Structure 1
Amino acid sequence: MSQDKNKKRVSARERIQEAQRREQQAAKRRQRIVVAVSAVAVLALAGGVAVAVNSASAKDDKNSASASAQLVVPANVSGDNGTVITYGKADAPHTMEIYEDFRCPVCKHFEAANGETVKKLTEDGRIKVNFHLASFLDKNLGGKGSRTALAAAGAALNEGVDKFKAFHDVLYANQPDEREDGFGDVNHILELAGQVPGLKTDAFVKAVTDKTYAPWAAKVADAFNDSGVTGTPTVKVDGKTVNLFVGNSVATPEQFTAQVKQAAGLQ
């Protein structure tokens, strides 16, 4: 009887070891991080993990591929070196900081749950939103989707802050699986831009096609890497971190709004 139990234990251990070996091989093929990011996304949906983890190597990624091109900064930027995108009234007394990567699956979940709430919170002029955008998932997952989407977002920003916000929302609503580099296809990016009324001007299409804002996107990503934020999405209000998950589920718009107002000292 005890021998049977020992055999079962050995068999179970062997199965675990084999599963671990296969997982390690798969992780290497996907540049080690995709499994972790996917797991975080699933856990976030199921019960309380709030961020997609930024890899330790992300801060070392300075997006040097675009460094040699001419730096063109889009209109309507803010912050140090024009790397911040401000939505809402620039002189609003309170500031919400949102840190995101367009390929981050948990960011998509946050945007689906509370993206519209973020917009509503700016409407009375007391809160503005500063977007800090990243591209670390390109290095972690392979591809260029984060950088391509970020550069296209710069082209949208050049057309207007409202155009940027609408394009930002379309990108998250149509985010591909993080293991796929769907945003790396410029033609696909332009197709998605067609969902934003008035965005696809000749200037916008040329800027996206010519990658005019790729060097700027690299600077924006560098600023994120230097921010000290270790995961996406991260939301802070007047320097205080907002919990994006409450208990075992994502914060409802009411819960998110209450946290934001409490952090800002608003009624």
Structure 2
Amino acid sequence: MTSNQKPTRSEQREEARARAKAQRELNAKKEKRTKLLVQLSVVVVALGIVGGVGAVIAIDSANQADAPVVGEIPANLTALGGLKVGIGLQAFTLDKTPTPDSTDPIPEIVMYVDYQCPVCQAFDVPNEAQLRSWVDTGVATLEIRPISFLDRASLNAYSSRATNASMCIANFEPDSFFDYHGILMNNQPAEQTEGATDDELFAFAQDAGAGTEEVKGCIQAKSFGDYIEQHTQKVLNNPQDGISVSGTPTILVNGKQYTWATGEELVSPENFAQFVQSASAE
């Protein structure tokens, strides 16, 4: 590539991944320092020694962004609470319908996910490249419908915070939603551990090209917390277009539910591709 050529989309993503790795390593170091500062501040308060405590508070306060004004429901979502992505990995919004010029029907893929769900990650990670290619080139559309019911599997309410972060992206930077979804899946914490902090969730947003102050404030304020709680209960307790969502992932292709009998089938891109082809033919 010459100095006058614009980096390709693939090159940009590779650079983003490299930055993400470096940022995660930096965040890990920062997190250790932050925990130490918190521990020290607790000891200082217990001893009645106030000197230096103000500095710790000032650091935390300086990192806060103003909570943005948002609606009760995140913008750009479909009627069933998903963010739909089409050709060029662009989001469907009120002003934009990213579909191919051809009038031929294309598969419509829908995924209900919880970002703390290990089975969701088991499906998503090996299928990410395939889904990316299909959607980017206009071979299929993908609608991701995040819900949150697995805070019980986290030591810091990661499920609901990650879902809120994804809704912040959908609301303010919808064209970054697909990349952000992938970053969350690739960085899913193990069950019964602490997931990414709010600062780390925002760092992921920066890696996805959505590092705005509005997104930061939305993540820190958990602006869509009430919506997520109510929407999750609605999804789990009421059929969605005739489909009962009893857990995640629930994956649909043209309204037909994808199932698997073994773990090998779950993680197989070839198996899913065959299902998409079959469901599209029907």
Considering the TM-score relative to the shorter chain, is it more than 0.5? yes
Counterparts in 2 of 1:118 and 1:253: CA distance versus 1, 3 Å: same
Work out the CA distance in 1 between the residues paired with 2:167 and 2:191.
21
Structure 2 residue 184 is matched with structure 1 residue 186: no
Q: Does 1:213 align with 2:224?
A: yes
Residue 87 of structure 1 is matched in structure 2 by 85
How much identity, in percent, do the aligned residues show? 25
Q: Distance in 2 between matches of 1:229 and 1:200?
A: 32
Amino acid at match of 1:212: S
The 5-angstrom pairing of residues 217-256 of structure 1 reads: 217-226=228-237, 227=239, 228-244=244-260, 248-256=264-272
Could you tell which deviates more after superposition, 165-174 or 249-258? 249-258
Shift of 1:246: 6.0
Aligned AA (2:198): V
- Deviation string 1:222-249 (CA, Å, 9 cap, x unpaired) is 3431342122212111222223566845
RMSD of Structure 2 on Structure 1 (CA)? 2.6
CA contact (8 A) 2:72 2:227 kept: yes
Q: Counterpart in 2 of 1:77?
A: 77
* C-alpha distance 245-125 of structure 1, shift in aligned 2 (>3 A): farther
Query: 250-259 or 143-152, which moves further after superposition?
Result: 250-259
Tell me, yes or no, if structure 1 residue 261 matches structure 2 residue 277. Answer: yes
Matches within 5 A, 1:27-176: 72-80=72-80, 83-88=81-86, 93=105, 94-125=107-138, 127-139=140-152, 143-176=156-189
Change (3 A) 1:195 1:241: same
The code of the aligned residue for 1:106 comes to V
Superposed displacement of residue 143, structure 1: 4.5
Change (3 A) 1:212 1:263: same
In structure 2, the gaps of 5 or more residues are 1-69, 100-104
Alignment partners' CA distance in 1, 2:113 and 2:119 = 9
CA separation of 1:248 and 1:119: change in aligned 2, threshold 3 A: closer
- The 1:141/1:190 distance shift into structure 2, 3 A limit, reads closer
CA distance in 1, matches of 2:173, 2:199: 21
- Shift, 1:124, TM fit: 4.7
Aligned residue in 1 for 2:213? 202
TM superposition score normalised by structure 2:
0.60
Kindly tell me: are residues 203 and 260 of structure 1, through their superposed partners in 2, closer, same or farther at Cα, counting changes over 3 Å? same
Task: Write the letter of the residue equivalent to 1:117.
Answer: Q
The number of equivalent residue pairs is 193
Residue pair 1:145, 1:182 contacting (<8 A) in 2 also: yes
The residue aligned with 2:43 is none
Q: Which has the higher contact order (CA 8 A, sep 6+)?
A: 1
Letter in 1 for 2:157: K
CA distance in 1, matches of 2:260, 2:127: 9
Following the alignment from structure 1 to structure 2, what is the Cα–Cα distance between the partners of residues 163 and 145?
A: 20
CA–CA separation in structure 1 for the residues paired with 2:132 and 2:225:
27
Q: Is the contact made by 2:114 and 2:148 (CA closer than 8 Å) also made in structure 1? A: yes
